[in-house]
Structure 1
Amino acid sequence: MATPGPGPIKRGYNAVGHSLGANDIINQALKYGHDKRLPTLHKVVTIAGPFDGLTGFLNTQTEAQARQLAIKPTRFTKHFATMLKYRKNFPQHVKLLNVYGDTNTGYNNDGFVGVASARAVRYLLRGKLTQYREAFYSGADAAHCALNQNPNVAQRMIRFLWSA
């Protein structure tokens, strides 16, 4: 007769997503984060996630004004409103690093995603995260498709993912 072990090993993972991939990670955690049969999400890095769609895409705030924007979206897209309904399912003890950018062209965006939309994940997950950090980048290296190749973003992401 075999002796039972100490019980099931708790599986966990870290995740990194760029653009809609960032949304996919958050959506998966919102829908299935409470399911104990699935691996546990520990840390997430979202890069240029259009969490509230492209609303606010052509705002004309300066960079300083963009960084001061409220985290609560001024209008919710249908998708964002749906994500809010699943907040209760989001797993406990998750740490999130949210990376976003502004190309400094006067439109408060990274060329595709508005700063307000990228920051909306903070409002969405308020009170649900163990830790929330933001990393704001500006200039040409903060363009939507440049953020995930920016060495400063990579260094920050690696420090976040591999720190205790």
Structure 2
Amino acid sequence: MIKAAREQKNATQVLTATVRKDGSVDLQGRWLAKTTRPIVQVVFEDNRNPDYQQDGEWFKNVLVAVNRQHSFKRFNVVAHSMGNLTAVYYLLNHATDKQLPRMAKMVNIAGHFDGIIGMDDQPNQNQVKKDGQPQKMNATYRQLMGLRNQLPAKSIAVLNIYGDLGDGTRSDGRVSNASSQSLRYLVTPGAKTYQEKKFTGKKAQHSQLHENHAVNQTVLAFLW
């Protein structure tokens, strides 16, 4: 995805921020003052940590570390899979913190906001109402309900991307469409805009979505 951004939108990867298992952040690279469309790649050493609250705090550590090196006021996030929970838990706890840069745009790809198939969800076991609220809510989702009151009004533009294999499961193989679509109910009270985009077929499989050319084009158009 970064390669596509460089080639098609003249973006520049300025830094790689590696979050160590103790939460400390190591920055590699250099962010020059005149760089347009800078990208910071965020890498978690413990990239399977199921404590989403901690993941969100680790992301806050990244923002603080980068801001010390190169001051910035706004940023966009592109997240896939567990990265989505990192982003929304960060917002849950820090969306109103004026000491931190403000998230302007958020791209969510294959987000499991209300369950993962084989763990706490099954295909075709849940569905969302017209306003996006899921009929069934797991413990994580109930905690995230705080986002409805936490996000400042018209604060963030959100693009929610999810996949449907077309095999009858209404899922990307790992996450049900209902789980991904349940983001809408959490963010729409405060979101500046909210868009959903469904991709179908084999390239819409959970781990293939961020390798999907059409997904890349949609993300880049939304960001720039």
The alignment partner of 2:207 has SS state of helix
Q: How far does residue 90 in structure 1 lie from its aligned partner after superposition? A: 2.0
In structure 2, give the amino acid aligned to 1:76.
Answer: M
Q: How far does residue 156 in structure 1 lie from its aligned partner after superposition? A: 0.5
Larger fraction in strand = 2
Structure with the bigger RCO (C-alpha within 8 Å, sep 6+) is: 1
Q: Does the 8 Å CA contact 1:57/1:108 hold for their aligned counterparts?
A: no
Task: Tell me the residue number matched to 1:80.
Answer: 141
Please state if 1:49 is matched with 2:49: no
Percent identity between matched residues is 32
Q: How far does residue 125 in structure 1 lie from its aligned partner after superposition? A: 1.2
The alignment partner of 1:148 has SS state of helix
Please, which runs of 5 or more residues in structure 2 have no aligned partner? 1-70
Which digits, 9 at most, give the CA deviation of each residue in 1:89-139, with x for residues without a partner? 224420000000110111110000000000000011122101001110011
Map 1:100-119; keep pairs closer than 5 Å.
Answer: 100-119=162-181
From the superposition, tell whether residues 118 and 102 of structure 1 become closer, same or farther in structure 2 (CA, over 3 Å).
Answer: same
Map 1:130-141; keep pairs closer than 5 Å.
Answer: 130-141=192-203
Root mean square deviation, CA, Å: 2.1
Of stretches 82-91 and 126-135 in structure 1, the one that deviates more from structure 2 is: 82-91
Structure 1 stretches of 4+ with a deviation exceeding 4 A read none
Please state if 1:157 is matched with 2:215: no
Task: Tell me the residue number matched to 2:65.
Answer: none
Please state if 1:36 is matched with 2:101: no
Of stretches 41-50 and 78-87 in structure 1, the one that deviates more from structure 2 is: 78-87
In structure 1, give the amino acid aligned to 2:200.
Answer: S
